[in-house]
Structure 1
Amino acid sequence: MGGEGSMMHAIKSLKENRSLLKKRKLQSKDDVYGKKNVTKLYLKKSTPRDIARIKKMMFIEREKEKRRVFYAAIATILIVFVLYLLLT
């Protein structure tokens, strides 16, 4: 009979997947919500110079994106117009 090997492989992979799922079960409420006062973030304080530099970079990226969208729109309009002229 054909197909026994593929069925055996499917059964083995299902068993392996189930064993992996059993390892991931949460044991207590602390596993889900975390323990209090343990997860503290220490963030670097930004200087006004850093903030100004980041704002400038964001402005430049926005302008580049606007140009890309504008050129893509112009190209799309031109392609549609050329196709219209060729098909009529």
Structure 2
Amino acid sequence: MTLDVDTGVLEVEAAVVEAPAAPTLADLGDVLVNVRFFPDGKVNTIDNCPRNLDKQAWFYALCRLEPFRFHTLAGGRGHYRIPFARFQQILAEVSA
């Protein structure tokens, strides 16, 4: 940017700004699978459930494949925090 004092003209040069690359799904981080339970301990709702499994079977599959990633919350709730790449592997395993 330059200012010509004699003429009072301000010249502005155009800057080229490149947009950042869109993140891939793998770059987005962990997948959260939220779970809500009935008072008797059975699964009420669970996220990302594959079509070929019912809610309880999906929870059992996650318990078997990633037993240490479940975080218990108050009020009959909890969630799994699973890295995206591992979550894709789990989906492939239970869908086979």
**Shorter-chain TM band:** under 0.3
**Greater relative CO, 1 or 2 (CA 8 Å, sep 6+):** 2
Structure (1 or 2) with the greater helix fraction: 1
Structure (1 or 2) with the greater strand fraction: 2
Highest Rg: 1 or 2? Answer: 1
